[in-house]
Chain A
Amino acid sequence: MAGSTKNRGYAVYLIPGIVASTAVIIVPLVMTVYISFTKWTGIGSPRWVGFDNYTRLFQDANFWASFGHIILLILAMAVVPTFLGLVLAAVLFDYIAKRFGDRWASVLRSGYYLPQVLPVAVTGIIWGWILHPSYGALNRILESVGLGSLAHNWLGDPQYALYSVMGVMIWFQLGYPIVMFMSGLQRIDPELYEAADLDGATWWQRFRKITIAMIRPELYVVLVTTTIASLKIFGQIFVLTRGGPSNATLVPSYFAYKNFFEKAQVGYGSAISTVLTVLIVVLAIVFLRLQNRAERTSS
């Protein structure tokens, strides 16, 4: 009880945070959920329609397509960079740094990380140009080396657009897991490795049993943050393809944006955003629980 009186004076420090969060987060969040049950063009007053937006949503082929695209984007933004990053981080830390010196390892790491520091819109511009069908660099390069038959309308052909975006996203994301894992690897006690070597463990066994086990916290953080980032992806899609061609790269956030600001279907857009939010929060909770369980079993 003494503790709570001693701590009483601290509550005032929370007031600015509570006021600001209410205005910018809580009120808009509640409003969006409410609007998702209405029909509203953004002008006049919303008309209550119950679950109509949601039933329409689950019958909308575009909605399912946008979530299908997200699954492929999770592959490109979370799964592939995490595994590639894990291997690259281990090689940089365990091989390059030891054989060629830390300088090499840190130069390579910074280079791989470079795309991450660029504004999302700028990466979109770079790739939008490189992949452009008429004046883009990639097709020009292919033609000049006699592989003109491989030239495609990378972002404009529904057959290739999503794969092109996936390639760009792998390029963009790879540096993040590398930096995270390398900083995690520094925690590992070298004696653990030496003990494993004494026991005659191979590099692969050591990688699995020690490296992965020790950087498990980073592994979870990277997987959660990159998966959530792929669910939220907007900027690259806006700049590269605007969801097209013929919705081949439509994603939930862009789908919601279109309904809000192009079609003036605010209620429907709100329903899309609400579903996306629920999905993200549920995913985060599942990941957190998995992480807690993993921590408990390992200790």
Chain B
Amino acid sequence: MTDRTERRRAAPMSDLAGEGQEGMTTETQDPMTLTATRAPQRRTAEKPALRERNPGRFLILTILLVLLLLIVAPLLVVAVNAVKSPADYAANGPLSLPGKLHWQGIVDFWNRVDFGLKLWNSFITSLAVAVLGVILSVLNAYALGIGRVRGRLWFLVFFLIANLLPQEVLVYPLYYLSKQFGLYDSLFSIIIIFTVIQSAFGTYLLTSVYTEFPKELLEAAAIDGAGKWRALWRVVVPVSRPTLAVLFTFFFIWTWNEFFLPLIFLISNDNQTVPVALGVLQGDRMMDATTTSASALIGIIPAMVFFLIFQRTLTRGIAAGAIK
């Protein structure tokens, strides 16, 4: 028994060291680590204690931590320089810690782009799309997954394809039509478009969930005299609330992060969302190192806040999306 578990624990290291040579090339080629990790594997049966003293045990953890640092480094560099005065940056470069916290860059940038308004535009758009998108997905999925209406397979194929379409293939007619209907440069156009686009994904996911919805619950509701409308709101929606929460979260964050269509539809300053306001400023003559970091930082913060709030729903949701 000990033999088996010990080997299971020891084995990954040696093989990963071999694997690492293809992918990462540097540290893992050290012959010391190879022998250090291979050796205990053969000897664990007699001397399991050896493994515990093995310094190579931390090698993989170290590699993973270095990788983590590399991934987070750009964000740290941005954060450090966002609170640095331009003079400090010119004198000490990007890697030094700020001499003293300089919030003026952030404040100036905030006021210059009227960032509060952009936050509000992004928030209201994302919230409206998330609510409406979930409602539309529920209605579609109720008919397709539980109602199993005729032609449901074709509807599903349609929603699947709609989900795949690049926005470029829709953009010009949408731009043209929204001008005709007086919806151009208005948050309404973005809300309507993204409600439909997001609900294509929602319908697809939710239909597969509703296909396996417990029949007994629906029959019980029918016996109690509930019509289809009441059964939907009293039974189906409450039971599937966890999935709906996942959809809501996804729709909100996706809409918040959208760039292409808002860039085209929201041209006036008063209607811009956060990504558009930040994106169009790139290459602007007013931007220097500290202002750019300040702008990046105030773009990062809302996203991080959502990530922290929604973290559990998100990880659950990513799993739900995978296993159809």
The answer to whether A29 and B169 have CB atoms under 8 Å apart is: yes
- Chain B binder among A48-56, A57-65, A158-166, A198-206: A198-206
The answer to whether B311 and A110 have CB atoms under 8 Å apart is: yes
B258-280 CB contacts (< 8 Å) to partner A: 259-260, 263-264, 274-276, 278-279
The answer to whether B78 and A126 have CB atoms under 8 Å apart is: yes
The answer to whether B171 and A204 have CB atoms under 8 Å apart is: no
- By CB atoms of chain B within 10 A, which of A125, A136, A270 has the most? A125
Size of B's binding interface in residues, CB under 8 A: 105
The answer to whether A94 and B200 have CB atoms under 8 Å apart is: no
- Please give, as numbers and ranges, the residues of chain A lying within 8 Å of B221 by CB-CB distance: none
Give the complex CA separation of A83 and B168 in angstroms.
30
The answer to whether A28 and B275 have CB atoms under 8 Å apart is: no
A192-251 CB contacts (< 8 Å) to partner B: 193-194, 197-198, 202-204, 207, 217-218, 221, 228, 231-232, 234-235, 238-239, 242
Bitwise interface map of A from 128 to 141 toward B, beta carbon under 8 Å scored 1, else 0: 11101001110011
Using CB atoms, name the residue of chain A closest to B275.
A121
Give the complex CA separation of A87 and B61 in angstroms.
14
Size of A's binding interface in residues, CB under 8 A: 107
B157-194 CB contacts (< 8 Å) to partner A: 158-162, 164-177, 192-193
The answer to whether B166 and A273 have CB atoms under 8 Å apart is: yes
Q: Does A44 contact B (CB under 8 A)?
A: no
CB < 8 Å: which of B175, B257, B322 contacts A221?
B322
- Please give, as numbers and ranges, the residues of chain B lying within 8 Å of A119 by CB-CB distance: 256-257, 259, 274-275, 278, 299, 303
The answer to whether A228 and B164 have CB atoms under 8 Å apart is: yes
- Please give, as numbers and ranges, the residues of chain A lying within 8 Å of B150 by CB-CB distance: 4, 7, 11
Chain B nearest Cβ from A174, distance in angstroms: 7
- Chain B binder among A71-79, A98-106, A146-154: A98-106
CB < 8 Å: which of B159, B164, B172, B282 contacts A124?
B282
CB < 8 Å: which of B11, B149, B160, B322 contacts A11?
B149
The answer to whether B172 and A203 have CB atoms under 8 Å apart is: no
The answer to whether A280 and B259 have CB atoms under 8 Å apart is: no
Q: Does B197 contact A (CB under 8 A)?
A: yes
The answer to whether A29 and B275 have CB atoms under 8 Å apart is: no
Q: Does B292 contact A (CB under 8 A)?
A: yes
Bitwise interface map of A from 7 to 49 toward B, beta carbon under 8 Å scored 1, else 0: 1011111101100110111011101100100000010000000
The answer to whether A141 and B259 have CB atoms under 8 Å apart is: no
The answer to whether A273 and B168 have CB atoms under 8 Å apart is: yes
The answer to whether B61 and A100 have CB atoms under 8 Å apart is: yes
Q: Does B155 contact A (CB under 8 A)?
A: yes
Give the complex CA separation of A269 and B168 in angstroms.
9
Bitwise interface map of B from 43 to 75 toward A, beta carbon under 8 Å scored 1, else 0: 000000000000001001100110110011011
Q: Does A111 contact B (CB under 8 A)?
A: yes
Give the complex CA separation of A83 and B23 in angstroms.
9
CB < 8 Å: which of B162, B260, B296 contacts A25?
B162
Give the complex CA separation of A168 and B11 in angstroms.
33
The answer to whether A91 and B60 have CB atoms under 8 Å apart is: yes
Give the complex CA separation of A99 and B58 in angstroms.
10
A249-292 CB contacts (< 8 Å) to partner B: 252-253, 256-257, 260-261, 266, 269-270, 272-274, 276-277, 280-281, 284
| 27 pairs, CB–CB < 8 Å, chain A vs chain B | A4-B150, A7-B150, A10-B147, A10-B148, A11-B149, A14-B155, A20-B195, A27-B177, A32-B170, A91-B16, A96-B60, A96-B61, A114-B75, A122-B299, A125-B292, A126-B296, A128-B292, A144-B95, A180-B318, A183-B322, A203-B16, A234-B167, A242-B283, A257-B260, A280-B165, A280-B166, A284-B161
4 tightest A-B CB contacts, nearest first: A10-B147, A28-B173, A121-B275, A122-B299
The interface of chain B, by Cβ under 8 A from chain A, is 4, 7-9, 11-16, 18-19, 23, 57, 60-61, 64-65, 67-68, 71-72, 74-75, 77-78, 81, 93-95, 136, 139-140, 142-144, 146-150, 155, 158-162, 164-177, 192-193, 195-197, 199-200, 203, 228, 232, 253, 256-257, 259-260, 263-264, 274-276, 278-279, 282-283, 288-289, 292-293, 295-296, 299-300, 303-304, 306-307, 311, 315, 318-319, 321-324
